[in-house]
Each structure stands twice: as structure tokens, then as C-alpha cells.
Structure 1
Amino acid sequence: MSLSVPRGTTLSIVGESGCGKSTLAKLLVGLVAPTRGTLRYGRNRKGGVLHPQMIFQDPYASLNPRWRVGNIVAEPITTLGLRATPAETRRRVDELLELVGLSASDAGRFPHEFSGGQRQRISIARALATEAEFLVCDEPTSALDVSVQAQILNLMGDLQKEFGLTYVFISHNLSVVRHVSDSVAVMYLGRIVEQAPADQLFDSPQHPYTRMLLDTIPDLDDPRRDRERMGGEVPNPISPPSGCTFHPRCGMAREQCKVEAPVVVGVGGRQLRCHAVTWDVVRAA
């Protein structure tokens, strides 16, 4: 796959469970080494190496329960030598906690004393403690109540505007994705099958898998609307189908799809990997 994320924007990755979204997130932050290919990052604003950081899905498991919050947030500052003295580190921790909507006095408390939303705020503060400009967000709101999800998303949006942060946002919640994204990449069995600006993708999806995903969004104004139904489960990624890996579930599949893997083609400002859609565009031209 090939992805690029312009500075200060949000690229969302969507797809069914098991398609490789979380593996991609781990690759981006170096938790998993790529078996082939390369990752290239631009420079940060100071001209140094851009180091991505990750906000994990589960705020209950991603924080050390034996450490006080102040120590959790201070660890990357100390490890990277971002402040010269312990006093400066403590001041920076206080600043970060207040930045994410907590209090400086919370530094002395343990993670179990906080709600899920507050814990995710601590996770965000820890990521920002590295002075990172590129954050990989692996379903950061999926474990939270709906009202708390909105608060965390608003916080992330405010931080992005204030500091020019760049996000890769991974989520199952397509309504959230539409709200936060500048562009969206649809992933199936480890490959990006469609990538487009968010409004363009949601208003006019082209790939049959994208249409299938969007049909899962409830429509309160038209609950009985016609939907594109596709059966089957995601195939085993260790032994994927030949040709286009989506062809066993696709109503548009033809013989070519079973034997030849589609290449990425630019169509109307988006990137598509689909024989049927590409063939229709060529025929229309």
C-alpha cells in the first residue's frame, strides 16, 4: 500500500475487523517492523526527525496501574531529555494535564481513580509530552461512552488546530470518521481499495466494498432504504483469494477479478483498486 498524510490533516483508515488497520498503526510508530517496503517521515518544525506517537484504543490497559499520573506523563520527557531539570519536567507535566482538561493536582493520583474518558486524556497528554506532531490514533474513542467520545474528539480537534498536529485515525465508527477526517482510506485484507477526500467518499463511494461499509450506517430519515447486501466473511489473510481479494463477496465481480489483482488507478480525484469500476470509467470515456 502507499499512503501520504499532509501535515496538519487527518487521514482515517476504515475497514472490517481483521483487515490490518491496527497492524498498520503499529508499523507507523515502529512497534512492528515492516517485512518489506519503507516508511518515510518528513521533518518536524524544528528541522529534526519526526517521531510519531500512538494513542491506544483501551485507556484501561495502556496506562501502568502502579504509576502515578505525573510519572506516566513525565517518563517520555525524562527519557528524551526534553527538560533540563526535574522542576522543569514537573512544570511541563502540569501544563500538559491542564492542556487536556485535567488538573495539575491530578499528577499525584493513580489511573484507577479516573474515568475512561479521563484516562484517555492522560494518554493524549503522554503522547504530547514527546512534543510529537504526528499522532496515530487506534480507535481512541471506541471504549468510551458516546457523550465522552464527543468530548475526546472535540479535544483532539482543538489540539490539532492549536498545534498543527497530523493524525492517522483508525475507527469502526463511520459517523465519527466523517466528522473528523480530511481524507479516508478504505482497507480490505491489508490493501487500500479506495482513498478519497472525506466528503467525496461519503457522498459518492465508488468501490463496492466502500458502498457495503457505508450501507451499514443507520439512516433515521429513511430506515427502509435499499441497501447493497453482500454475504460472506473476510477471508483468511494468510491465504487470501486469488486476483482481487474481494471478488468472492462482490456482486460486480467478473472473470478478470478472479485471476488478476487490480492496480491502483486515479479516478476523479480519488485512488481506486477495482477492475469493475475502472472498466466502467474507461467505457464511459
Structure 2
Amino acid sequence: MNALARPTLEVQDIACWFDVSPSWFDRAVLRKPRRTLKAVDGLSFVIPRGTTFAIVGESGCGKSTLARMVVGLYAPTRGTMSFANGAGRDGHVRTQMIFQDPFASLNPRWRVGDIIAEPIIHMGLRRAGAETQNRVRQLLATVGLSDRDAGRFPHEFSGGQRQRISIARALAAEPEFLICDEPTSALDVSVQAQILNLLKDLQRELDLTYLFISHNLAAVRHVSDRVGVMYLGRIVEQAPTDDLFERPRHPYTKFLLETVPDLDNPRRDRISSDIDLPSPIDPPPGCAYNPRCALATDLCRTAVPESREIGSALLRCHLAA
């Protein structure tokens, strides 16, 4: 494959807003205002080919909305998203998605062999018949399953095995870019490690590029090359994985890392927050994190921080910058 066709996702100031206004009657008669949910509000990052860029953050910060924009399920409200060869979502770079719940993402009425064969046949990657069935058996072996599993239904498998089937289905389309949206959150801890190791092995063997979305910091540290910390629709800190975990700069990044259990120091003092994540429909003025930040100043409460480069990191924070 020509190196110029290899994917490097470049995202510039991308946003995705949803109109959640009251009904026409409520607006016209009761004078209720229009309301906008800013699920993603100005993200910029680049993912070099063959690497993994992870997005972490609390539930509701916009991670899954970003994933759906990358695969084309949602249209961006503004901003640009393209691959290195100049192709966008409708270009030649093949993208596939691995979903959070493997049971919900697999058709319960289809046998596993048919599920994996569907993208092969639909995209015309192999001739129907023996050639497609050989490819299905090869994919099952690639993800650690037996060719006998092709004749079984999804409910006959464990959660980890179902996620392997989901990965095989994604690989059936011969993708160059995979979006992994919380791929291990529904699995037991021991099974999570198996799936993460499988994803890393596939990346080396097939030269895949990953956008890995998770709230599991241990998983993120295991698989990613660079991490973006997302808060209320924006990336507040972005850095190489080792730098971010060893030298976090943003107060929110430090807060997230403090939530990770430490068996060597279980009674350590932790950064606490008694305030829930604000609503993206009505975000606080200034820095969105200021109501939960012990270091917030008047500047933080009035001015939105710009993204600044500090060493190998990018930060949105008045104090950290």
C-alpha cells in the first residue's frame, strides 16, 4: 500500500452542537428561549499513522459524540476533519468502529459467520462463496476464535468472546483506522487485558491507527501513545502518555489521576470534588472547570483559556500555562 494512503487523522476546531430547544408552543407562548447542547466544542488534534490517540474524561464530556463524528454518523457543526492523503470521511481511508457493548452491536438473529461476512460481501472485498468463507475463518483465527464458532449465535459467547467477534467484523472491512469507543468497559478486568493486548498485537501486525476512547485510565496508559483529556466538550490537556501520567499539569487531569486506586498508598490525601459535571447545555462562564477547581481565580471565572503549548503538552488553563 502506498504510504501516502496511510491514515493520519487531522482534526481542526471541530464542534458538534445539538438543538435541544423547547417546543414551538413553549417558545412562542411561554417565551422559553432556544437551547443548544454543545457536546463537542472546538477540538484539535492529529493522529500519526500506526499510533494510538486516546481520549479520556468523565461520562457526558463528549467522547462518544467525537467518535460518531469521525465515522460519519454525526455531521460537525463547524471545523474540519481529514486524513493525511486529503480524503475526508467519504474518501479512500477505511474506518471502522468497535462499540462499547458487544452484545448490543451484534445482530442476535445472525450467526457469527454471517455477521463477519456481511462487510466483505457488501464492499466486494472477496467473491461470495468459498473465498469469503476462507476469509471469515482467517479473521476468527486472528482474534483467537475457532472456525467452528462461525456457526454459533452471539448469545452463545461470553462478553470477551463477543468483543473479539466485533473486532473480527471490523477487520473484515480491511480498515486502516479504528475507532475504539469504550471497547473494554463492559468486560471483566482479566478479559479487558486480553482485549487490549489483542488490539496492540493487531496494530503492530496490520499497521492500524487507533482513536481509543475510554474513562479507564489504566487501559489508556497501556495502549496509547498520546492522550487528550476532555472536559465538557473541550480538550483541556494533551500530551504524550508517559508525560501526562508522570507530570500532569491541568487541575482536572490531576483530579482524574487521583481517582486511580494506589495499592502502595491507599490512605493518601486525594483531590476531591463535591460538584458534579456541569451541564453542556448551560456551561459555566470562563474556564468550564472553574466551579470544581480549588485554584480558580477571577480570570478563570470570566475568560475562556486558549490552548497553549508547554513543552510536549497542550494546555487550556490560565494557571497551568
Counting helix residues as a fraction of each chain, which structure ranks higher?
1
Q: Is the 8 A contact 2:181 2:213 kept in 1?
A: yes
1:129 aligned to 2:172? yes
1:205 aligned to 2:239? no
Q: Is the 8 A contact 2:54 2:227 kept in 1?
A: yes
Write the letter of the residue equivalent to 1:27: M
Distance 1:232 1:162 in 2: 45
TM value normalised by structure 2: 0.84
Q: CA deviation at 1:33?
A: 1.3
State how many pairs are aligned. Answer: 275
Partner secondary structure for residue 4 of structure 1: strand
Counting strand residues as a fraction of each chain, which structure ranks higher?
2
- Kindly report the root-mean-square deviation, in angstroms, between the aligned alpha carbons of the 2 structures: 1.2
Quote the residue 1:9 is aligned against. 51
List gaps (5 residues or longer) in structure 2: 1-42
List gaps (5 residues or longer) in structure 1: 279-285
Give identity over the alignment, percent: 66
TM value normalised by structure 1: 0.94
1:167 aligned to 2:224? no
Quote the residue 2:76 is aligned against. 34
Partner secondary structure for residue 76 of structure 1: helix
Q: CA deviation at 1:268?
A: 1.2
Q: CA deviation at 1:125?
A: 0.4
Quote the residue 1:95 is aligned against. 138
Write the letter of the residue equivalent to 1:146: V
Write the letter of the residue equivalent to 2:124: G
Partner secondary structure for residue 112 of structure 1: helix
Match for 1:251 among 294, 311, 314? 294
Q: CA deviation at 1:227?
A: 1.7
Quote the residue 1:281 is aligned against. none
Match for 1:106 among 149, 174, 182? 149
Write the letter of the residue equivalent to 2:72: G
Q: CA deviation at 1:108?
A: 1.1
Write the letter of the residue equivalent to 2:60: G
Distance 2:290 2:170 in 1: 40
Quote the residue 1:18 is aligned against. 60
Q: Is the 8 A contact 1:54 1:135 kept in 2?
A: yes
Q: CA deviation at 1:229?
A: 2.0
Q: Is the 8 A contact 1:42 1:49 kept in 2?
A: no
Partner secondary structure for residue 38 of structure 1: strand
Partner secondary structure for residue 271 of structure 2: coil
